[in-house]
Amino acid sequence: MHNCKESYVKDQKGNSLLHSPMLDLDSDVRPSPLGHLSQTASLKRGSSFQSGRDDTWRCKAPQQVAFVEKLTKLVVIQLPNFWKLWISYVNGSLFSETAEKSGQMERSKKNARQRQNDFKKMIQEVMQSLAKLIRGALLPFSLREGELRQYGGWEMKSELSGQWLTHVIQTVRLSYESLTALEIPNDMLHIIQDLILDLRVRCIMVTLQHTAEDVKRLAEKEDWVVDNEGLTSLPSQFEQCIVHSLQSLKSVLDCKLGEASVFQQHKTQEDVCQLSIGIMQVFIDCLEQLNTKPDGDADTSHLSVDISSPDLFGSIHEDSSLSSEQRLLIVLSNCCYLERHTFINIAEHFEKHSFQGVEKITQISMESLKELDQRLFEIYIELKADPIVGSLEPGIYAGYFDWKDCLIPTGVRNYLKEALVNIIAVHAEVFTISKELVPRVLSRIVESVAEELSRLMQCVSSFSKNGALQARLEICALRDAVAVYLTPESNSSFKQALEALPQLLSGADKKLLEELLNKFKSSMHLQLTCFQASSAMMKT
């Protein structure tokens, strides 16, 4: 066994540029160590040696994998001969075959019974060597320093992938089955069970670490093409990446006869939980990274929209590049879908594969996603609301307008119409990408505008009768136009703005206000249609 290791270690160090032994993991007739036991043990092998039929398995095996194959084969082929010899020795059949005299045979049998512990110790030494040699090749950190010198010696340029570790686990499991078929007592084989458990745990850790690396690269695959729901393929790609990873671990997570759950140790539960949270966080970081890319990065990115979508204000055509605001909206739309669907689906996949702490994984991931979503949302609102809010005060006082000295109102002034047109432009941009985001965005824009209008009204020292009527007309016109997007906050702002004005006392003033409001709604009917359409959409 040690010679076997030395030859592979020497080969690894001396011939690193040469090809290592080839293992064909896709073969139906791959030499099986169990074949040598077929005469002495009945094993239900089925197709256990047949790995998944995938071309990716047909590749060069790392030296450590080839070594484990050779080492286990060596033990499983040679040990049965010694074991059978020992059984014949203990039960006396060996002595009867040599036709020794009766007295000598009895003495030999007695001697054999007394030597049982010696032989047991020999078998245990073989099992310990087998386990430690495999640990030295694959789990060197699990050996003490002195043991590492004896059982290690490998060049660890890079750790084996989860795929190769899965194959090694299958190899060691089959060797364990072969040894139990010989009816070797379980206490002698316990060290092999411990090895299998540690290999399974390591395989899970490595696979999850590699999954995080795969997820990190998903940002490069974002093509910014949205479907009719305002989503790109990124959430789906993320979910599939995790599903594929968990499926690759199925045989490792499943317990064979006599094996313990990989999650029996609290430390393993905690490590797997943290790695899973890490994968989710890596994807959330990807979303943030996509948003912070400079505009130049999106020159070749395009957005396609469903041509059946009712888009009253023009759509983003396939030949137009995306602005940073549009990318921001797409990321927000994806965030919304991730929160409502993808993260919940992934939690179900984790539970299905018996992961522990799924609630913790989901809770922490959801919180992190919501934080990102809120940050990006605030950035977008700031980009869109600030110019509209900033235009109100200069617009109100354009042409040296004075609330104390103004003419009888003849209609809503241009500054308010321009503010509404700018809100409609935001509506068009959001609606083109994601209908679901419209109420959320427009409600916040309206809150900002209403708050500023209220502030401006409360800053006025006094109003003339005409000034109060003009102010009431414009506040009511804005409030009625965006009625579908009013929130308690914006309602409160409009109420405060109106309360800052003198009351309308005469019936003529009230009638004039109503006529001018109707005139405004009629003249702006086409522009305000989008808000009405949204209202109908929200009701359905």
* DSSP H or E run through 249: none
pLDDT for 42: 33
pLDDT at 392: 95
* Whether 85 contacts 102, CB under 8 Å: no
CA dist., res. 293 & res. 316, Å (int):
20
Question: Exposed, middle or buried, 502 (CB in 10 Å: 0-12/13-18/19+)?
Answer: middle
| Residue ranges, the chain, pLDDT below 70 | 13-59, 95-103, 105, 293-320, 533-540
Residue 261 buriedness (CB in 10 A; 0-12 / 13-18 / 19+): middle
Two tokens, residue 162: 């989860």
Query: Residue 22 forms beta bridges with which residues?
Result: 60
DSSP 302-334: B----TTS--TT----TTSBPPHHHHHHHHHHH
Instruction: List, in sequence order, the alpha helices (H) in 397-462.
Output: 414-433, 437-459
What per-residue confidence (pLDDT) applies to 189?
A: 86
Q: What is the CA radius of gyration of the chain?
A: 38
Tokens of 376: 């990006």
How far is it, in rounded angstroms, from Cα 313 to Cα 521? 19
* pTM, 2 dp: 0.78
Structure tokens at 6: 């030395």
pLDDT of 538: 52
Report the pLDDT value the prediction gives residue 315, as an integer from 0 to 100. Answer: 40
Cα separation, 54 vs 163, whole angstroms:
12
Give the residue carrying structure tokens 């539970």.
351
- 121-158 residue pLDDT tens: 888 899 988 998 988 888 888 877 777 777 777 777 77
Specify which residues 60 forms β-bridges with.
22
Token pair of 532 as six digits: 């009405």
* φ, ψ dihedrals at 22, nearest 5°: -85, 135
> Can you give the pLDDT at residue 535?
52
Beta bridge partners of 321: 302
Task: Look at residue 321 and give its three-state secondary structure.
Answer: strand
So what's the pLDDT on residue 31? 37
Q: What is the mean pLDDT of the chain?
A: 82
Q: What is the DSSP letter of 338?
A: I
Residue 55, judged by CB atoms within 10 A of its CB (0-12, 13-18, 19+), counts as exposed
pLDDT recorded at residue 83: 84
DSSP state of 411: S
Three-class secondary structure of residue 29 per DSSP: coil
DSSP letters spanning 295-309: GGGGTT-B----TTS
| Beta carbons of 168 and 138 less than 8 angstroms apart | yes
